[in-house]
Structure 1
Amino acid sequence: MTTSSKFLFRASLVAASVAAASSAYSAGFALNDHSATASGKALGGVAASNADISASFWNPALFVNAKETTVFVSGAYVMPSMDVTNISANNATAAGGTAIAGSTTNSDSVDNTFVPSFYFAKPLSDKTVAGISLNVPFGLSGDYGDDWAGRFHATETSLQDIALSFSLAHRMNDWVSVGASVQVHKAEVVLGSAVGISGVEGDGRIEADDTGYGYSFGIAMEPRKGTRLGLGYRSEVDFDFKGDVKYKNVATLNASALTTGYDLIDTTVSDSITLPSVLTLSMEQDLTQKLIFGLSAIRTGWGSMDGLNIDFDSAQPNSVLTFGFEDQWMYSAGLTYVYSDQLTLRTGVAMDNSPVTDKYRSARTPDGDRKWISVGATYDFNDMTSATFAFTHVMIDDVSVSRDGTGEDRARGKLSADYSSSANVVSVAMNMAF
């Protein structure tokens, strides 16, 4: 193994250990902080940006921003808050729909999380650049604990997707550049919940993983000086998850015949999930020599994720959870102001629409529409090194979960709860040329 491949392997392990970011940041469970530069302007104009190589996540053609061998390392510290109130749950399968004992409020189900990104660019000629990047495109993490009343719907939920990309970008002429990448994705899913009915219950926990493959392509244009346009596309990624389910404290439950003819036993599980495609359209316009205005529209193809349909390698019937996700757009606008030769300032706003509908919202997907307000800055120490900072406040619409305990929820029971969420995100980055 070469020195560079060893480094990338270690970087992948580091990313995997911290990748499960809270769903409080981005709609659905897409993660959008892959660049402190882009975050400072709320992604406004990101797929058309000529600032640095970190915009290549949205448009691989932008690796041509590297004129020398360049490393860009970025990290986002996500500080979410989610309060769950008015929790009410019932055993729909019990006589009379008996109420489930447990806490009726929950304010400790999401934790602060660090999300890393890494980019490396090497010019092969005056027109062609090779790039490598490591990102966390999707992440979700929540743990309600074992004592809340909705524990039969969810106790723990985690999904993390690590992507290692290999890219080529080429400047066709003075105003058109193109780029493409191939990606290796490593994803893991963890699902936990109580099983049985209140008073005669145990715990189940599923862990499964798989490796998938994707690609991206993009084009960046500057049809006239000061006007930049960009389009980038990241493909869907298919996963055939395989793993294990392990149960605790189910001996009494199995003996009570409440499982209607089957025992809950440790076994293997499988499920197929397709993570969505992402299409980014951007425009940047130099308003003056110092002021740049940017717009972006980002479409995430959430409709590819129909839900969970977990197949147990035993007599236990499949566990089904319909997501009912809808394709959605995020819209953003940003301003960049070159204050001096050393200091660049940024700000931006965004509207990030949730793919979750009221009909299918669940304790695993308690998602609402988001609004961003961002500020940021870059300080150039010299021609070779710069540092970037960004702060984003995310406001999330209040939502409610209402599950009637029928159909796929028959074994989970009824659940109603109100969710109030927000998040603050601090991003920092270093850009180094050699």
Structure 2
Amino acid sequence: MKTSSQNLFKASVIAASVAVASSTYSAGFALNDHSATASGNALAGAAASGADISFSYWNPALFLNASETTVYASGAYVMPSVEATVTSASGASALGSTNIGADSSSDSVSDALIPAIYFAKPLSSNTVAGISLNVPFGLSGDYGDDWAGRFHGTETGIQDIALSFTLAHQMNKQLSIGASVQLHEAEVILASAVGAPGLEGDGIIEADATGYGYSLGALFEPMQGTRIGVGYRSKVDFDFEGDITYTDVDSLNSTLTSYGLANLVDTSVSDSLTFPSVLTISLDQELTKKLVLGLTAMRTGWDSMDGINIDFDSSQDNSVLSFGFENKWFYSIGLTYDYSDKLTLRTGVAMDDSPVKDEYSSARTPDGDRKWISVGGTYDFNDMSSVAFAFTHVMIDDVNVSRDGTGEDASRGTLEADYESKANVFSVAMNMAF
């Protein structure tokens, strides 16, 4: 039965159902396009910018960028490209370790839309209340049922939707603070082939959970033209519950019985996962009256994600996939230039390191270090409305996945595969004051 908080999220989940983007955009499965404005200079200055209220995602104190009731709606269209080349694969050793062969897959990910919505209401000259809807984390991949690595994964989906309620207050001319509480709704889909070549079926896990988090932020302006911002988004604990459904496993179960192994049966599943915290430190420095330098360092606490350990409500052994994630930093530098009274231009570059150690890389997490190149801008129609736009090209290091079929992969077999990935992202947003 759905909880009341899950019912609260029902409309939001439907509205953002296209929001799960492939992991090609951001390291791990973080999604970082929550603002077309911020994307224009690769998030440089994200926790310190005075441009608009969308920067409140990284620092809730930046809801103070609104002097009037304001709505900001942003969308990022992610166009990923992933080519997976399997050099060798074999089935589970317990069922004969049959060689599967080699193949290539170039359509394992699809285009996706990432939405973000912000609403700000000034309560006084120095206090602003805000509400925002974001998709902090997302991952999506579908290799199809026939690729050589199908026992390691055919479909992977993770989606986290966060609804935040924020208060921001200006303490004095130098210091502003903000805080939010967040309600998260997460869904996970994991599918793979089960058994061995010639004696196989399919299994799919679907589970969801509700979690709670918070964010804190501060903006310090030691002198005119210098803004230093710090924002922290907490980790979020989820207790996932769902079901696993098998198809075409009758012959496989007969063989498992003959080996004295547990049969595969539809049942309930559960797992606990902790999505990571994010610390953002930024500088927004005015170089001239028209030119601003932005710097950002962002730390994601990926070590909270130790892996997947799915508990089946039956005699089946747990399904385990270790992540071995490491905490990583994201760095960016960018420039903002006031070209005219109506047009502002932006550009930036970023380094986004993957949290995945080489030895833990898998078909579900074929993750490499990334470099961003971004351009964008804002056009002001009038004092009350503007449009922001951005383009980001993401270059991703090639990745090798090597699984030897032992330990937690004993039921999956071996896999040797090479991945080449990249992505283009187009973002646009509308900002309106009332």
TM-score between both structures, scaled by the size of structure 2: 0.96
Partners of 1:91 and 1:159 lie apart in 2 by 26
Partners of 1:352 and 1:9 lie apart in 2 by 31
Q: Which residue of 2 aligns with 1:351?
A: 351
Q: Which amino acid aligns with 2:29?
A: F
Residues 213 and 238 of structure 1 are in contact (CA less than 8 Å); yes or no, is this contact kept in structure 2?
yes
Q: Which residue of 2 aligns with 1:218?
A: 217
Partners of 2:404 and 2:9 lie apart in 1 by 46
Deviation at 1:260, TM superposition (A): 3.9
Partners of 2:378 and 2:144 lie apart in 1 by 41
Percent identity between the two aligned chains: 71
Residues 282 and 296 of structure 1 are in contact (CA less than 8 Å); yes or no, is this contact kept in structure 2?
yes
- Residues 143-178 of structure 1: CA distance to partner in whole angstroms, max 9, x if unpaired? 000000100000000000000000000000111100
- Residues 206-231 of structure 1: CA distance to partner in whole angstroms, max 9, x if unpaired? 00000000000000011000010000
Q: Which residue of 2 aligns with 1:4?
A: none
Map 1:226-375 → 2, pairs under 5 A: 226-257=225-256, 260-375=260-375
Partners of 1:315 and 1:153 lie apart in 2 by 21
| Cα 1:11/1:284, change in 2 over 3 Å | farther
Residue aligned with 1:124, SS: strand
Residue aligned with 1:261, SS: coil
Q: Which amino acid aligns with 1:150?
A: G
Residue aligned with 2:325, SS: coil
Q: Which amino acid aligns with 1:172?
A: M
Q: Which residue of 2 aligns with 1:194?
A: 193
Residues 44 and 282 of structure 1 are in contact (CA less than 8 Å); yes or no, is this contact kept in structure 2?
yes
Residue aligned with 1:12, SS: helix
Partners of 2:226 and 2:10 lie apart in 1 by 40
Q: Which residue of 2 aligns with 1:3?
A: none
Partners of 2:96 and 2:241 lie apart in 1 by 38
Residue aligned with 1:359, SS: helix
Q: Which amino acid aligns with 1:221?
A: F
Residues 46 and 282 of structure 2 are in contact (CA less than 8 Å); yes or no, is this contact kept in structure 1?
yes
Partners of 2:99 and 2:398 lie apart in 1 by 25
TM-score between both structures, scaled by the size of structure 1: 0.96
Partners of 1:213 and 1:260 lie apart in 2 by 43
Residues 19 and 161 of structure 1 are in contact (CA less than 8 Å); yes or no, is this contact kept in structure 2?
no
Residue aligned with 1:18, SS: coil
Deviation at 1:12, TM superposition (A): 1.1
| Structure 1, 350-359 or 88-97: larger mean CA deviation | 88-97
Residues 16 and 160 of structure 1 are in contact (CA less than 8 Å); yes or no, is this contact kept in structure 2?
no
Deviation at 1:96, TM superposition (A): 7.0
Map 1:159-170 → 2, pairs under 5 A: 159-170=158-169
Residues 138 and 161 of structure 1 are in contact (CA less than 8 Å); yes or no, is this contact kept in structure 2?
yes
Residue aligned with 2:38, SS: helix
Q: Which residue of 1 aligns with 2:182?
A: 183
- Residues 11-50 of structure 1: CA distance to partner in whole angstroms, max 9, x if unpaired? 6134431121111100000000000000000000110000
Deviation at 1:195, TM superposition (A): 0.4
| Cα 1:222/1:260, change in 2 over 3 Å | farther
| Cα 1:144/1:260, change in 2 over 3 Å | farther
Partners of 1:282 and 1:419 lie apart in 2 by 33
Residues 131 and 164 of structure 2 are in contact (CA less than 8 Å); yes or no, is this contact kept in structure 1?
yes
Deviation at 1:98, TM superposition (A): 2.4
Q: Which amino acid aligns with 1:185?
A: H
- Residues 344-367 of structure 1: CA distance to partner in whole angstroms, max 9, x if unpaired? 000000000000010100000000
Q: Which residue of 2 aligns with 1:206?
A: 205
Q: Which residue of 1 aligns with 2:4?
A: none
Residue aligned with 2:363, SS: coil
Q: Which residue of 1 aligns with 2:389?
A: 389
Partners of 2:241 and 2:309 lie apart in 1 by 12
Residues 97 and 196 of structure 2 are in contact (CA less than 8 Å); yes or no, is this contact kept in structure 1?
no
Residues 45 and 282 of structure 1 are in contact (CA less than 8 Å); yes or no, is this contact kept in structure 2?
yes
Segments of 4+ moved more than 4 angstroms: 8-11
Let me know the Cα RMSD of the aligned residues: 1.4
Residues 188 and 209 of structure 1 are in contact (CA less than 8 Å); yes or no, is this contact kept in structure 2?
yes
Deviation at 1:107, TM superposition (A): 0.3
Partners of 1:172 and 1:10 lie apart in 2 by 37
Q: Which residue of 2 aligns with 1:156?
A: 155
Partners of 1:82 and 1:186 lie apart in 2 by 28
Unaligned runs of 5+ in 2: 1-7
Partners of 2:74 and 2:249 lie apart in 1 by 45
Unaligned runs of 5+ in 1: 1-7
| Cα 1:294/1:260, change in 2 over 3 Å | farther
Partners of 1:73 and 1:83 lie apart in 2 by 33
